[in-house]
Amino acid sequence: MKRKDLFPTPVWTIDNCGVKTDEMVEFCHHVKDEDPDGRKSSNLGGWQSWDFRPEVLKQNPLKPLYDDIMRYCYAAADDMGFQEYTLRMTNLWININKRNDFNVIHTHPGAVLSGVYYLSLPDCCSGDLTFQRDPKDQHLREFWGCSDNFDRFNEVIADEYDMYPEEDKLIIFPAHLPHRVNQSASDGERISISFNVTAFSNYYHEIYPNNQPDRTKLSL
Ligand SMILES: [Fe+2]
């Protein structure tokens, strides 16, 4: 008997990117000092910056990270089967969590790939990143209910998967994949950097040539 796993969900991890610098950590603290309120989004507690755009990133201490993110996102998109495409980072932001801070379950609408880079972490227990299977796909686990005679934790049927953060590690995942950050049990700072990347077809201008920029005048 053969088994074929249909519709797998890729998650890419890169250990030891080698881009972390004291200057990056300093920069994150500086941004927080300048804007102590930050933005409220999926974070409950914790501090989150507003968005950085690529054109700004290219001129600040996060540039080496931006370059690495784009390089690895191209590798991930190639791996997914993209062809003749261009990636563009839409936004990147800084998260600083401390004890009891967490991020509720969410997705990143409008992006193709999303991810997180762990810049600076306390020694332990600062909150795993948990991916969650779409609730509509959890019927088997819900039906069986207990794990006495059913392995609910193998990757084929598990409804959640935890990844623990490590300094200088980059994780890239499909933007539609629900995820959360678990509560930090550490007094130390957990500094992570999140981002969204979208994709454009290189054939776009062949479909809408430059000499016909006004699409309202195109007829079917
Ligand atoms: Fe997220």
pLDDT tops 70 at residue 52? yes
Quote the tokens at residue 7: 């519709």
User: Do residues 133 and 158 touch, judged by C-beta distance below 8 A?
Assistant: yes
What pLDDT score does 152 carry? 77
pLDDT tops 90 at residue 74? yes
CATH homologous superfamily of 12-208:
q2cbj1_9rhob like domain (2.60.120.620)
pLDDT tops 90 at residue 34? yes
d(CA 49, CA 31): 7
Ligand 1 centroid to Cα of residue 179, in Å, is 6
Ligand 1 centroid to Cα of residue 173, in Å, is 10
Ligand 1 centroid to Cα of residue 33, in Å, is 23
What pLDDT score does 43 carry? 76
Ligand 1 centroid to Cα of residue 195, in Å, is 8
More confident residue, 106 or 156: 106
pLDDT tops 60 at residue 206? no
What pLDDT score does 78 carry? 97
d(CA 100, CA 45): 7
Band of pLDDT at residue 150, cut at 50, 70 and 90: confident
Band of pLDDT at residue 202, cut at 50, 70 and 90: confident
The pLDDT > 90 percentage for the chain reads 66
If we measure between CA atoms, which residue out of 101, 95, 117 comes closest to residue 48?
A: 95
If we measure between CA atoms, which residue out of 43, 166, 185, 46 comes closest to residue 125?
A: 185
Ligand 1 centroid to Cα of residue 57, in Å, is 19
pLDDT tops 80 at residue 208? no
